[in-house]
Amino acid sequence: MVNGIRRKYNALVEDLDERGRRRWAATEAESIGYGGIVAVAQATGMSDRTVRSGIEEIRKGRTVPAGRQRRIGGGRKSLEAEQLNLVQAVENLVEPTERGDPQSPLRWTCKSLTNLERELRAQGYSVGRTKISKILHQLGYSLQGNRKTREGKDHPDRDAQFQ
């Protein structure tokens, strides 16, 4: 019985997405009856939990919108949704060191992603460099410094007029 199920599964597997495989396995297990879940799981390499979920979907008439594999709302929430003030915290860290022409839409920061990550973690946020980079691009920042400008501490009052 398991070999027959395996042959059918191998003939269809390339044409089915995750949802299709789950639902096919469920219908196959139900057609077998007692022991069907274990037989299908063994033949396909799927978890028995996956087969049971497929059976539950079919019995309860749960459908998923076209083009989706799972119900809406599933999956991990974005960091911005979990950590409500994350975007504002990034902007607060970058804004004092912002560079660029105030009349131009191009803004950039000289702070590195590593330094921003360190400062955000010190404030209690759990965020990585990749996410910080995406947030900065969302806010319209470019991660570059002007090479022609030589910055430093030439004079103690040098920056006072701009602060």
pLDDT at 152: 55
Phi and psi torsions of 124, nearest 5°: 100, 5
Residues 9-48 have pLDDT tens digits of 889 888 888 888 888 899 999 998 999 999 999 898 989 9
Whether 158 is in a domain gets the answer no
Q: Considering its fold, how many domains does the chain have in total?
A: 2
The residue out of 60, 90, 109 marking a domain boundary is: 60
Whole-prediction pTM value?
0.46
pLDDT at 1: 84
pLDDT at 111: 77
Range of the domain at 127: 79-142
Same domain, yes or no: 38 and 88:
no
**pLDDT tens digits in sequence order for the chain, 163 residues long:** 888 889 988 898 888 888 888 888 999 999 989 999 999 998 989 899 999 988 998 888 877 667 666 666 667 788 887 888 888 888 888 776 666 566 655 666 777 888 889 998 999 888 888 888 888 888 887 776 555 555 555 666 666 666 6
Same domain, yes or no: 56 and 93:
no
What are 108's strand-pairing partners? 99, 142
Whether 89 is in a domain gets the answer yes
Tokens, residue 160 = 């006072």
Whether 50 is in a domain gets the answer yes
Whether 26 is in a domain gets the answer yes
Whether 103 is in a domain gets the answer yes
Of residues 50, 45, 59, the one with CA closest to residue 20 = 50
pLDDT at 95: 75
Whether 114 is in a domain gets the answer yes
Same domain, yes or no: 43 and 87:
no
pLDDT at 26: 92
Dihedral class, residue 74 (left if φ above 0, else alpha if ψ from -120 to 50, else beta): beta
Same domain, yes or no: 53 and 96:
no
Same domain, yes or no: 55 and 83:
no
